[in-house]
A and B are shown apart, each in its own frame.
Chain A
């Protein structure tokens, strides 16, 4: 299985901050990397697919980049509704695997 490792596991941020979350795969998976946001008690919500493609309806302050084994999710101008946990997921090969999550907190 492809192992996905996110860093940091949690971070503290304030409204308006630029936030960066990193995801590293155990092998090259470019560009098969997705990002999800999950709020407490809710299902995950797709933000970015194929490393850098913004899912329909997702605010443009979210962006994704990266290649090979290293990928980044950036939130430019953190909003109150962005405090949540973020997961990366590889779609290179099954079994699809997720990172352990990064909690963005105040």
Chain B
């Protein structure tokens, strides 16, 4: 059974860098995309970005200038770094696995396994 276990600092000051790590248990990186998503308190979900097993990344343009997602296959984990945080970055952060199903002419993608979430508060 695939499980994602995430961790990282939960309290940051403005201008600091948010760093979170997600360990992948029970699956290899190959054939999947590995995403970070966040959810501000009482609000909806915002996709931050993803990485595949080759290290190819896609980022949300709204955060692209501040985001780096990286992969460490030797440790079976992937990480999120978000620089210059502000109060607007306060949220519950999730890691997730994106799977792909292909049929002739179609390429379906969804996120089927999620981490438990890590709360991050940005406050001076």
Contact = CB atoms under 8 A, between A and B. Distances in A.
Interface of A: 1, 31-32, 34, 36, 42-46, 49-50, 53, 55, 87, 89, 91, 94-101
Determine the main DSSP class of B at the interface with A: strand
B20 to A, nearest CB: 14
Interface of B: 35, 44-47, 50, 58-62, 94, 96, 101, 106, 108-112, 114-117
B117 A43 contact: yes
B45 A87 contact: yes
Given A43-B115, A49-B101, A91 B110 contact: yes
Contacts of B114: 43-45
B89 to A, nearest CB: 17
Determine the main DSSP class of A at the interface with B: loop
Given A46-B112, A49-B101, A95 B44 contact: no
9 contacts: A31-B108, A34-B110, A42-B117, A43-B117, A45-B114, A46-B111, A53-B108, A89-B110, A98-B46
B47 A91 contact: no
B108 A49 contact: yes
A55 B111 CA distance: 11
B61 A32 contact: no
Most chain-B CB neighbours within 10 Å: which of A44, A46, A95, A97? A95
Contacts of A87: 44-45
